[in-house]
């Protein structure tokens, strides 16, 4: 499973375990509910600052959002933009 999908699943599980709607969760993190929905569905790759805000809004350490992600060492590099040399 893609790391974005894994992160989104963890985020959704923590949110629902606390009985929060996406609207409540987005408000606590100071973000748009559509953006939160896209993160939970694995469509966006949140920045480090956003991961910190998401953790704060859930009352967990940001590392708790990442600890269960499984990284496949044989997976090809992601399609993200890379800095120019």
**Domains of the chain (ranges, CATH numbers):** 3-62 (1.10.260.40)
Where does residue 59 fall: left (phi above 0), alpha (psi -120 to 50 degrees), or beta otherwise?
A: left
| Of 38, 65, 68, 40, the residue nearest 53 (C-alpha) | 65
Q: How confident is the model at residue 79 (pLDDT cuts 50, 70, 90)?
A: low
Cα–Cα distance measured from residue 33 to residue 44, given in angstroms and rounded to the nearest whole number:
13
What pLDDT sits at residue 75?
A: 79
CB of 55 closer than 8 Å to CB of 64? yes
Q: What is the mean pLDDT of the chain?
A: 89
Residue pointed to by tokens 């998401």 = 54
Cα-to-chain-centroid distance, residue 76: 21
The fraction of the chain above a pLDDT of 70, given in percent, is: 92
| Residue predicted with more confidence, 77 or 9 | 9
**What band does 5 get if pLDDT is binned at 50, 70 and 90?**
very high
Residue 81's pLDDT is 63
Q: What is the pLDDT of residue 85?
A: 65
How confident is the model over 73-84, as a mean pLDDT?
72
Alpha helices in 1-85 (DSSP H): 3-17, 22-29, 33-40, 48-58
């Amino acid at each position: 499973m893609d790391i974005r999908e894994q992160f989104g699943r963890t985020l959704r599980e923590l949110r629902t375990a606390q009985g929060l709607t996406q609207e409540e969760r987005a408000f606590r993190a100071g973000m748009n509910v559509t953006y939160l929905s896209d993160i939970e569905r694995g469509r966006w790759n949140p920045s480090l600052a956003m991961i910190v805000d998401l953790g704060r809004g859930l009352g967990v350490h940001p590392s708790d959002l990442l600890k269960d992600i499984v990284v496949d060492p044989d997976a090809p590099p992601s399609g993200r933009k890379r800095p120019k040399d």
